Amino acid sequence: MEDLMFILMDGINFAAWLFLAAVGLTLIYGVMKILNVAHGSFYAMGAYVAASTLGFWFDNNMPPFLSYVALLVAAFVAGFIVGPIIERVLLKPQYDRDEHLILLITYGLFLILEDVLKLIWGVDPYFVSQPYELVGSFELGDMIYPSYYLLMAGLALAVGLGLMLLLNRTHFGRMLVSVIHDREISSAMGINVGRMFAITFGLGVSLAALAGAFTAPTVSVTPGMGVEVIVLSFAVVVTGGLGSLPGVALAAVMMGIVRAICVFYAPELELFVIYSIMALVLTFRPRGLFSIAEARKI
Amino acid sequence: MKLRRALIASAVASAAVGMLPAQALADNHGGEVKIGIVTFLSGAAASPFGVPARNAAEMLIQAFNSGKAPAPYNTKGFGGMKITPVIIDEAGSGTNTVTEYRNLVQREKVDLVVGYVSSGNCLAVAPVADELKTVTYLFDCGTPRIFEESPKQFAFRSTNHAAADNVGAALYLKSIGLKAKSFSGINQNYAWGQDSWADFERSMKVYYPKAEVGTSQMPKLFAGQYSAEISALLRSKADVVHSSLWGGDLEAFILQAVPRGLFKRSTVVLTAGEPAMFRMADKIPDGTIIGARGPFGLAAPDTELNRWFRSQYSDRYNTPPTYPSYHMAHGIMAAKMAYERAMKANGGKKPTSEQLAAATRGMTFEGPGGSAKFALSGGQQAVGDYAYGQFKKVNGKPTITNIKRFTVDQIMPPDGVKTADWINSGFKAK
């Protein structure tokens, strides 16, 4: 029984991180049909921006608990500056081209951004653990867990609910759903599809940066930290169904909990269990758990 | 016609004679020794390993060229010849590494190479060193396989291999009288992590025959998230937790595990922990067993050479040298000593690669970490004493206390014996 509690706690913590890391990727694909290989670099960008922000914040004795707000603001500011610029300059001219070309462009962008991050922040690692330590810890059985895990889970829940509300309850969200289903009809109906793409890309980049920003206090921010995230994010997104928010959430929870079970009882399986889940799901549901139904065009 | 032939003949002869000194000068680089330095200057391994190693190389080469190093390295350059470094980044695939190595030797025409942190790169480069007949001192990589799998002629390793790290860890636990009924581990899931855990587990079975394995966690390299692994380690309630994690992974593990009480519940051994101990001095609890992959860093012997090395490095870079810096120092000092030994044997001429290799085999040399000898694997593998200690903050400064020193025969297998066989025999195989 105690083991079950620990597995759930660790599983949900990992699931929250997976969801935050992957949700921006599925949003961009859902709206723009772009598999953004540079997603990991935006995650890393968020982590570095967080490191700089927190360094400034605590060096200047700003209110410690407002550092979480600073992280949120820093991630979204960075995302909405970088995202739309990249979308307008690099991606927009290619929308009429083959989607494989856009994939390659995002791969090139990933390579460029890895070096840009090194140019700006160097190769030295940064660690900014104050937000991680600030909220203390709690006991679960005879195990101590950092309360930061609950904060991450809460953030993932808030992001998920926020996106669902945005898509289903706002005017902007309804326009976005329309673009998701058919951009030609949406354009014919007067929706500025180009602007929707720019905003969506900015939002997707911001969500990736947000994941990196809130991960930064728990790790050492080092070059190359985005590479691992791309692979995992793809696995989660593909398992959940490209473009599906509920799919990403369910896939993240499944993978988090199964991975925690393996770590406890069969650590040698942990390395590939996430990809095994992906393979198993795709075997029976090739479009993922919750793929968006697409009308066949004649 | 006769005059024309004579003029042509004399022109050809003059050109030939004129070329000879130029050719000879080209071979001698005008009294210069070009040394290729290869280490990580980008990527996750740059900060903990590559940059400290490069810094040590630059500092030492400058000191040697100006003749300001202490004895036995107080002569200028290598035998009076100016040392010119060609420093390149080790980052990239194994194929890329080999290509860059060939470029160093064939295009840059370096006389020797000191390099390589990654065991994979060492394994890739060692046969090429023999193919191109270029003396290469592998200064940091840990895999025992370089010489255990096949003999080499021009590839050397100037420091103990990784068996020493993990045998030494188990021996240290025994030497401080730690009682261990069980032990667990968390190591990166690739050759370094797997070999480290395997050697440690085997050694613990010799020193603690009744101890059981709690759990062996093998997260992916650069995973960064260790929540579940830490829970599993805590749940195992092991007396000892072994880890060969390095770089960002080690720092993330410390950040995540310390608040959860893992370091209080178990004695944690960080075999490659020394590079992190200064940056994370506020996070690492007292009593954590720290390895510096040899008698390096704060566990180095108190010699004039070590004091000089530490003060020069600290003054120049505002941070103390860590073990990668020491490893590089040993590589370059071995190169200098071998070079001058070879020159003494050949009447003062610039040695050929064969002469340099012959001079290196069996050579004993001094470094800031103490003396070492190229004694194993036909004289290609250097061995030296070892040290482990425990982290302690004294007056706010990180130090290493309770240092235990081990001799070569306690932590490295004898010549011709594979590491696994030696450990499994209870360290008795000869």
Q: Which residues of B touch A121 (CB under 8 A)?
A: none
| Residue A124 in this model has a pLDDT that exceeds 60 | yes
Average pLDDT over every residue of A33-48: 94
Model pTM score: 0.89
Write out chain B residues lying below 8 Å of A123, CB-based: 41-43, 46-47, 51
Question: How close is the nearest chain B Cα to the Cα of A108, in Å?
Answer: 17
Gap between the Cα atoms of B75 and B83, Å rounded: 12
Sign of CA dihedral A236, A240, A246, A251: negative
Residue given tokens 């960008």 in the structure block:
A45
Question: Closest chain B residue to A128 measured between Cα atoms?
Answer: B255
A146/B235 CB distance under 8 A: no
> How does pLDDT run across B320-332, given as a tens digit for each residue?
999 999 999 999 9
> Which residue from A minimizes the CA distance to B236?
A264
Work out the minimum CA distance from A246 to partner chain B, whole angstroms: 24
pLDDT in tens, A153-190: 999 999 999 999 998 899 988 888 888 878 888 888 88
The values of phi and psi at residue A137, to 5°, are -145, 170
Percent of residues, chain A, with pLDDT higher than 90? 71
Cβ-based contacts of B256 with chain A (< 8 Å): 146, 218
Q: What's the confidence (pLDDT) of residue B17?
A: 40
- Residue B359 CA to residue B388 CA, distance in Å, equals 31
A127 contacts in chain B (CB < 8 Å): 251, 255, 279-280
Q: What is the DSSP string of A232-270?
A: HHHHHHHHH-TT-HHHHHHHHHHHHHHHHHHHHH-GGGH
- The residue of chain B nearest to residue A269, with distances taken between CA atoms, is B218
CATH architecture of B163-292+385-424: 3-Layer(aba) Sandwich (3.40)
Helices A270-284 and A245-265, axial angle in degrees (round to 10): 140
Minimum CA–CA partner of B248 in chain A: A220
Residue contact B251–A125, C-beta within 8 A: yes
Distance between CA atoms of residues A27 and A245, nearest Å: 7
> What percent of the residues of chain B are helix, what percent strand, and what percent coil, each to the nearest 5?
45, 20, 35
Whole-angstrom distance, CA of residue A149 vs CA of residue B125:
44
| Distance in Å, alpha carbon of A19 to nearest chain B alpha carbon | 14
> Is residue A270 scored above 60 in pLDDT?
yes
Closest CA relative to residue B208, chosen from B233, B179, B186: B179
ipTM over 0.85: yes
Judged by a CB distance cut-off of 8 A, whether residue A286 touches chain B is no
Please, which pLDDT band fits residue A297 given cuts at 50, 70 and 90? low
Which of B407, B336, B420 is CA-nearest to residue B370? Answer: B407
Closest Cα in chain B, distance from residue A122 (Å): 9
Average pLDDT on A132-157 reads 94
Residues in CB range of A278: below 8 A, 6 or more apart: A235, A238, A239
Per the CB < 8 Å rule, is A271 touching B220? yes
In the Cβ-directed half-sphere of B133, how many Cα atoms lie within 13 Å?
A: 7
Q: What phi and psi, each to the nearest 5 degrees, are found at residue B255?
A: -60, -40
The mean pLDDT values, 10 residues at a time, for chain B of 430 residues are 48 42 41 95 91 98 96 94 96 92 96 95 95 97 86 95 95 97 96 93 97 96 93 96 95 95 97 93 96 95 96 96 97 97 94 96 96 94 96 94 95 91 89
CATH of B31-161+301-384, one of 3.30.2010.10, 3.10.20.340, 3.40.50.2300, 3.20.20.70: 3.40.50.2300
Contact yes or no for B39/B88 (Cβ under 8 A): no
Task: Determine the pLDDT at residue B324.
Answer: 97
Point out the residue among B41, B217, B252 whose CB comes nearest to the CB of A220: B252
Contact A33, A195 (CB under 8 A): no
Residue B86 CA to residue B420 CA, distance in Å, equals 37
Q: How confident is the model at residue A274 (pLDDT cuts 50, 70, 90)?
A: very high
Contact A129 B217 (CB under 8 A): no
Taking each continuous run of H as one helix and of E as one strand, the counts in chain A are 12, 2
- In chain A, what residues touch B220 (CB-CB under 8 Å)? 228, 271
Q: How many helices and strands, by DSSP H and E, does chain B display?
A: 15, 15
Q: A225 vs B228: CB contact, 8 Å cut-off?
A: no
User: In this structure, what DSSP letter does residue B219 have?
Assistant: P
pLDDT of A19: 97
The residue of chain A nearest to residue B234, with distances taken between CA atoms, is: A143
Which positions ≥6 away from A69 have C-beta within 8 Å?
Answer: none
Q: What is the pLDDT of residues A82-105, one digit of tens each?
A: 999 999 999 989 888 888 899 999
pLDDT tens-place string over residues B220-231: 999 989 999 999
A144 neighbourhood in chain B, CB within 8 Å: 259-261
Question: Which of the 8 DSSP states describes residue B137?
Answer: E
pLDDT value of residue A292? 61
d(CA A259, CA A277): 10
